[in-house]
């Protein structure tokens, strides 16, 4: 999407959000697609660690193409994950390429545990715009306590391999991010943390994103910690849409089990779903602070400090990701 067009769309979205409009005359420009709900790890702050909560599955490639063919005319970015590990999908590379050919900015998050040199080279050459490595911990002990099932040295070496390969191929893409969830705040001058950051940046990492844990819509008890801020309606409902592996649409990237499930893209177009009665009622409830339903009532994101409807600490990340071309 042309940057000028995207800027106008962001301004229109901001106006609609601030005005409390619930039927929108534009379509979502950020689409989350859960290409697979399977994951090989059980991270302690992720719903995947709750036994039996998430039904494992793979999105059919034909269904994926149907979605991309529709959103290619109006969306800016497609993010190929919600609850699962996208590298576990056997068609991920083809999915990336198909999205890129459709003119979309394609990105995804990965725990990097199943990354190989061959996959890395093909992803670097695919046109993938951004890859975010979830690597939660600065030491072996901390990392392996959080990311249950992963090995600190092996995974870190895979990320470093990717960064070095990208540099060797002299490729600007994909923009590389390492995202660290800090379950508890770390001192900024912690030696292990300093060495970790220095090592990654010396190997060409574009950005290190440090974030606190959140409640995942009430699955984890983080709400009390966030109550210091005033209520702010969730802006997701005004610019994004999620699609689970089986085609069910969800209005928020946190609703990974489909509690707020809308129509299925197998039966309805995204254009129809975007202003359907279900999502319109959600927007109305959100603007009136009447979120007495799951997962919204347990979501700490409604109580975090925001600027223009975006969590303050993520505003620059949001803009960077939106305009990443």
Are the C-beta atoms of 39 and 48 separated by less than 8 Å?
A: yes
Kindly write down the DSSP assignment for every residue of 17-65, as one continuous string.
HHHT--S-SS--SEEEE-SB---S---TTSGGGSTTSS---B--HHHHH
Separation of alpha carbons 21 and 212, rounded Å: 31
Q: Are 273 and 265 in contact (CB under 8 A)?
A: yes
Query: Phi first, then psi: what are they for 274, rounded to 5°?
Result: -60, -35
As a whole number of angstroms, the distance between CA 242 and CA 30 comes to 9
Q: How many CB atoms lie within 10 A of CB 272?
A: 12
Q: What pLDDT score was predicted for residue 213?
A: 80
Question: 187, exposed or middle or buried, with CB in 10 Å at 0-12, 13-18, 19+?
Answer: exposed
| Dihedral angle computed from the Cα positions of residues 233, 284, 319 and 137, in that order, rounded to the nearest 10 degrees | 50
Residue 316: per-residue pLDDT = 63
Report pLDDT for 303.
Answer: 78
- What contacts 112, CB < 8 A, 6 or more positions away? 87, 133, 134, 135, 155, 158, 159, 162
Burial (CB count within 10 angstroms: exposed 0-12, middle 13-18, buried 19+), residue 287: middle
Task: Please list the pLDDT of the chain residue by residue as tens digits (325 residues).
Answer: 778 888 899 899 989 998 999 999 999 999 999 999 999 999 998 999 899 999 999 999 999 999 999 999 999 999 999 999 999 999 999 999 999 999 999 999 999 999 999 999 999 999 999 999 999 999 999 999 999 999 999 999 999 999 999 999 999 999 999 999 988 766 666 788 889 999 999 999 999 998 888 777 777 775 455 555 678 888 899 999 999 999 999 998 889 999 887 999 999 999 999 999 999 999 999 999 888 888 888 888 787 776 766 666 656 666 667 776 5
- What's the distance, CA 193 to chain centroid? 24
List, in order, residues 6 or more apart from 306 with CB less than 8 Å away: 229, 232, 235, 312
Predicted local confidence at residue 234, as pLDDT: 87
- Asked if 134 and 110 count as a contact pair (C-beta separation under 8 A), the reply is yes
Q: Please name the residues in contact with 266: beta carbons below 8 A apart, sequence gap of 6 or more.
A: 63, 247
Identify any residues that bridge with 306 across adjacent strands, giving them in sequence order.
Answer: 311
Which candidate, 6, 129, 27, places its Cα nearest to that of 78?
Answer: 129
Give residue 312's pLDDT.
64
User: Residue 128 has what pLDDT?
Assistant: 98
Contacts of 208 (CB under 8 A, 6+ apart): 177, 178, 180, 197, 200, 201
Coil, helix or strand at residue 10: helix
What does the pLDDT read at residue 232? Answer: 83
């Amino acid at each position: 999407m042309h940057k000028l067009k995207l800027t106008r769309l962001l301004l229109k979205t901001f106006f609609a959000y601030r005005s409390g409009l619930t039927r929108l005359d534009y379509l979502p420009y950020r689409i989350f697609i859960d290409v697979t709900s399977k994951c090989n790890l059980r991270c302690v702050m992720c719903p995947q660690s709750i036994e039996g909560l998430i039904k494992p599955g793979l999105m059919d490639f034909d269904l994926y193409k149907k979605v991309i063919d529709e959103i290619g005319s109006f969306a800016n970015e497609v993010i190929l994950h919600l609850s699962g590990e996208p590298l576990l999908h056997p068609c991920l590379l083809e999915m990336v390429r198909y999205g890129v050919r459709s003119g979309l900015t394609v990105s995804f998050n990965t725990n990097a545990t199943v990354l190989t040199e061959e996959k890395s080279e093909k992803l670097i050459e695919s046109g993938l715009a951004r890859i975010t490595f979830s690597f939660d911990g600065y030491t072996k002990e901390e990392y392996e306590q959080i990311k249950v099932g992963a090995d600190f040295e092996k995974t870190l070496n895979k990320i470093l391999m990717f960064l070095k390969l990208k540099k060797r191929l002299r490729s600007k893409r994909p923009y590389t991010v390492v995202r660290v969830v800090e379950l508890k705040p770390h001192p900024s001058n912690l030696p292990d943390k300093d060495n970790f950051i220095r090592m990654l940046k010396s190997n060409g990492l574009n950005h290190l994103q440090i974030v606190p844990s959140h409640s995942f819509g009430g699955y984890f008890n983080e709400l009390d910690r966030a109550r210091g801020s005033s209520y702010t309606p969730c802006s997701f409902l005004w610019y994004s849409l999620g699609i689970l592996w089986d085609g069910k649409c969800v209005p928020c990237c946190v609703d990974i089990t489909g509690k707020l499930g809308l129509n299925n893209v197998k039966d309805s177009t995204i254009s129809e779903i975007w202003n359907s009665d279900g999502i319109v009622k959600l927007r109305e409830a959100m603007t009136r602070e009447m979120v007495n339903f799951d997962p919204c009532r347990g979501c700490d994101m409604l109580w975090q400090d925001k600027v223009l409807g975006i969590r303050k600490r993520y505003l620059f990340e949001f803009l960077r990701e939106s305009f990443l071309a």
